[in-house]
Amino acid sequence: MKKQNVRTISLIVCTFTYLLVGAAVFDALESETEKRRWEALQDAEDMIIRKYNISQEDFKVMETVVLKSESHKAGQQWKFTGAFYYATTVLTTIGYGHSTPSTVGGKLFTMCYAIVGIPLGLVMFQSIGERVNRLSSYVIKAVRSSLRCKRTVASEVDLICVVTTLSSLTIAGGAAAFSKFEGWSYFDSVYYCFITLTTIGFGDMVALQRDNALNRKPEYVMFALIFILFGLAIVAASLNLLVLRFVTMNTEDERRDEAQAMQALQVAVKLEGDVITSNGSILSGYEGHDGQSLNGSTNSSMCSCHCMCLNRHKKSNNLGKSNDAENQYKLRRSPTHIRHLLPEVVPMQDLNYDYDTQSLHTLADRGTMDSSYMGVDMVDMGDTASIELRPHALLKRNVSLLSIRI
């Protein structure tokens, strides 16, 4: 199984396990509180019905009126300022839900606006995050140079520390401001800033929804919008370092596999227009680097096996010419019946290479070779055959790896 598939399956298992653990923790923390609140609301409803002697239907109408009028307490939501705030929540995918379009045209335009705006926003924040990381690296390099440190280049860990510090300062500063303007506790303000900058946007706490702030406090509106945009840029810088590295791991593995496949093709064997690879597969119509086949004008071959013999002596070459056409026909008709020609690895200990005498005794024991083969020169000395090597040619063609038994 490929590494990419294993990683994907592992991520799926880890994600669902994380979801199960989160569900169990939230169940333990929130279920009892939810039950108590529901019982308190039921008691209040019964008390109101008995006190004012109204029916259940009338109470439902009152409940609907209260819920629908909640969004209007902050003033007009669809004037230009409020509409700009809404467009910001759409483009940044925060989606508080404090104000939603009620007309068909508004809903249709929201969908079309989001289709174009969300990718545009993601690209913009991603680009800003890259610039923030580049600026952080320059600052780190300048500080270390001024301190005369040996290592001045900013590492990935240094950048992560910088953007994490910036994110913490942004949340802390924004929480202080929202705590003052909204009257929230500091912890609730920190919670709001985190939910906003991570684009979760539950909508249980939304800024600019008190005392008609959208129309009466333009400086506060400007601060809230700048906080959202700047904070999301800092978060994008963090994601650029932490998340995108893991996102691109599958792509890097795919490129590595392609490079290995190209290297495997470089050591493939050319035989009568077909390529026999090391695993026994046959690729038809492949042209080798030299563009020559076994029946070409040269006596060399790109085939390999453990005996490292190539073409036999001229005597065997002359005998083989008569059967050339028949052998080529058999190779084309039955390419799978050539298993004896598949590559076999030559043990390195079988090669007795002597740099002083430049002789290869193993090949001398196994027969003669053609003089044009990969830098191996034959010298006929009677009963014994001495093979002189040109080391630079052997090194160039990697003779010490494989050869074909013919």
Q: Is the pLDDT of residue 212 over 80?
A: yes
**156-182 helix and 104-146 helix, angle to the nearest 10 degrees:** 130
Q: Are 207 and 72 in contact (CB under 8 A)?
A: no
Decide if 322 contacts 351 (C-beta within 8 A). no
Rounded mean pLDDT, 187-210: 93
Q: By CB neighbour count within 10 A (0-12 exposed, 13-18 middle, 19+ buried), where does 362 fall?
A: middle
- pLDDT of 193 > 90? The answer is yes
Q: Report d(CA 389, CA 406) in Å as an integer.
A: 22
Mean pLDDT, rounded, for 178-186: 94
Give long-range contacts, CB 8 A cutoff, 24+ apart: 280-283. Answer: 280/339, 280/342, 282/335, 282/336
Residue 197 has pLDDT above 60, yes or no: yes
Q: How many helices (H) and strands (E) does the chain have?
A: 14, 9
Q: Which residue has the higher pLDDT, 306 or 134?
A: 134
- The most confident of 17-26, 124-133, 257-266, 323-332, by mean pLDDT: 17-26
**Contact between residue 394 and residue 336 where contact means Cβ atoms under 8 Å apart:** no
Q: Could you tell me which residue, 283 or 259, shows the higher pLDDT?
A: 259
What is the reported pLDDT for 358?
A: 43
Which pLDDT belongs to residue 400?
Answer: 43
Q: What pLDDT is recorded for position 202?
A: 93
- Helix, strand, coil percentages (3-state) for the chain, rounded to 5, are 60, 10, 30
pLDDT band for position 244 (cuts 50, 70, 90): low
Calculate the alpha carbon distances from 72 to 78, 128, 210 in Å: 10, 35, 10
pLDDT tens figures, 263-285: 877 765 444 455 555 555 555 54
> Which range, of 54-68, 69-83, 152-166, 197-211, averages the lowest pLDDT?
69-83
CB 350, CB 362: distance < 8 Å: yes
Q: Which residues pair with 385 in a beta bridge?
A: 380
pLDDT score at 93: 94
Q: Indicate the burial class of 189 (C-beta count within 10 angstroms; 0-12, 13-18, 19 or more).
A: buried
Q: Please, what is the average pLDDT of the chain?
A: 74
Helix (H) or strand (E) holding 5, with range, is helix 3-52
With beta carbons less than 8 A apart as the criterion, state whether 99 and 82 touch. Answer: yes
Gap between the Cα atoms of 185 and 189, Å rounded = 6
How large is the average pLDDT for residues 337-359? 45
DSSP 164-216: HHHHHHHHHHHHHHHHHHH---HHHHHHHHHHHHTT---SSS-SS-STTHHHH
| 127 or 359: which leads in pLDDT | 127
Nearest to 278 by CA among 328, 331, 329, 346: 346
Torsion region of 298: left, alpha or beta (phi above 0 gives left; psi -120 to 50 gives alpha): beta
Task: Work out the average pLDDT over 89-103.
Answer: 92
Which residue reads 């950048």 in tokens? 159
Give the pLDDT score at 236: 84
Q: Which of 9, 2, 10 is nearest to 254 (CA)?
A: 2
Q: Are residues 99 and 237 in contact, defined by beta-carbon separation less than 8 angstroms?
A: no
Beta strands 274-276 and 402-403, pairing class: unpaired
Q: How far is CA 243 from the centre of its chain?
A: 9
Across 112-116, 161-165, 381-385, which has the greatest mean pLDDT? Answer: 112-116
Q: Can you give the pLDDT at residue 151?
A: 86
pLDDT digits (tens, 9 = 90+) for 219-243: 999 999 999 999 999 988 887 787 7
Task: Quickly state the pLDDT bin for 194 (edges 50, 70, 90).
Answer: very high
Other residues' Cβ atoms within 10 Å of the Cβ of residue 178: 25
Written as six digits, the tokens of 141 are: 């390099």
State which H helix or E strand residue 255 sits in. helix 249-266
Closest to 276 (Cα-Cα) out of 220, 342, 210:
342
Q: Answer yes or no: pTM beyond 0.75.
A: no
pLDDT at 38 over 90: yes
Residue 66 structure tokens: 């209260």
pLDDT at 389 exceeding the cut of 50: no
Q: Is the pLDDT of residue 296 over 90?
A: no
